A and B are shown apart, each in its own frame.
Chain A
């Protein structure tokens, strides 16, 4: 039972353009959402998060949008840079729960 889904296994974007990565969740108890970035042979690193009381959170080139009614979140990267090429995982939990549930990941490739 995949509670967090990333339906696009891969995405290619031209350098300088916007990258949009999507994530859907099924558990209505989830109220805290995170994005992680992972390079090959390294551990995931935290990128940005959002709580359910907000619908948008921005940090530099990265913006996360949350649509609670659709149980959908997205990560926007603009402008995309070659160093953004990595696998991106979304993760969800509810406040106070120690465990994160991760999606299957999307491999983003930025084309120079």
Chain B
């Protein structure tokens, strides 16, 4: 059963901490994405990667960075967590290319920054 796996379902961190969110996909997909979901704002794209070591900013990259050292793994990093980064974080992947835009999502990580 193909899937996207996020390492944590729930995380509680302190303001100023460095936070790592990990995501692994087993479908050999080219593209991986990080979104955050907030009530009334929908899903907003933070960063995405279309190849190993390649990344592009999404709509709300401020305060975040990413790392993709291996094709199957895409990490989201909060360099210094702040309370406004409390959110549901969703990782997704797709193969890319025409006809392959459909995203497969992980179960999400609910991050609380206190």
Residues of A within 8 A of B (CB): 4, 6, 9, 32, 34, 36, 38, 41-46, 49, 89, 91, 93, 95-105
Contact = CB atoms under 8 A, between A and B. Distances in A.
5 contacts: A41-B108, A44-B90, A44-B103, A46-B102, A103-B42
Contact of B40 (A9, A42, A99, A101): A9
B43 A44 contact: yes
B90 A89 contact: no
B42 A97 contact: no
Contacts, number: 63
Interface residues of B, number: 31
Contacts of B16: none
A98 B98 contact: no
A93 B100 CA distance: 11
Contacts of B40: 9, 104
Nearest to A51: B99
Contact of A96 (B4, B48, B97): B97
